[in-house]
Amino acid sequence: MTVHKSEDVFHKVGRRSTTQRRLILEVLKQGNGHLDAEAVHDRVKARDPRVSLATVYRSLTVLEEMGLVARHNLGEEHGHFEPVVGGTHYHFTCRACGAVIEFQAPEAMRAAHRLGALKGIVVTDIRLNLSGYCKKCRNLARKESGRKE
């Protein structure tokens, strides 16, 4: 009778529901949605100082396997995580201020799948990452010709 109590999601996949895991998931949901492991760790520590970074990583992996969290390599840097909520969306990252803007791109999906069909490929994952300058930083785009940071 497929129950849907949030504490139950773990049991459904044969994993234990622990304080840490629930806390981490909660932090991710409340966060702006693009936290890296350390950011998650910081926020988690704020509520329970004894949670280790290792546990954060392990839990993120579990949550990812459960399909509750998605991992992104936004700026080609280290990993960022966000809770899986609504439909698929993609990311734009501002090279100047680091702001992340999400957007939908149905065309991209359609194109990708068309391509797949064309080449006999099964596309299971589409990752579309744009980068550039957001409205605020647009003006700076010209200036930045030298080394950054």
- Does 66 contact DNA by CB under 7 A? no
CB atoms within 10 A of CB 105: 15
Residue 64 binds DNA (CB under 7 A)? no
Between 44 and 96, whose beta carbon lies closer to its own copies? 96
CA–CA separation, 115 and 122 (whole Å): 10
Q: Which does 76 bind (CB under 5 to 8 A by kind): its own copies, DNA, none?
A: its own copies
Question: What would the two tokens of residue 136 be?
Answer: 């605020």
Contact residue for DNA among 18, 30, 104, 139 (CB under 7 A): 18
Q: Which is nearer to its own copies, 37 or 42 (CB)?
A: 37
Give the length of the chain. 149
Give Cα separations from 78 to 37, 38, 96 (angstroms): 9, 11, 17
Which pair of tokens denotes residue 116?
């797949």
Q: Summarize as ranges the residues that interact with DNA (CB under 7 A).
A: 10-11, 15-21, 36-38, 48, 50-55, 57-59, 61, 78-79
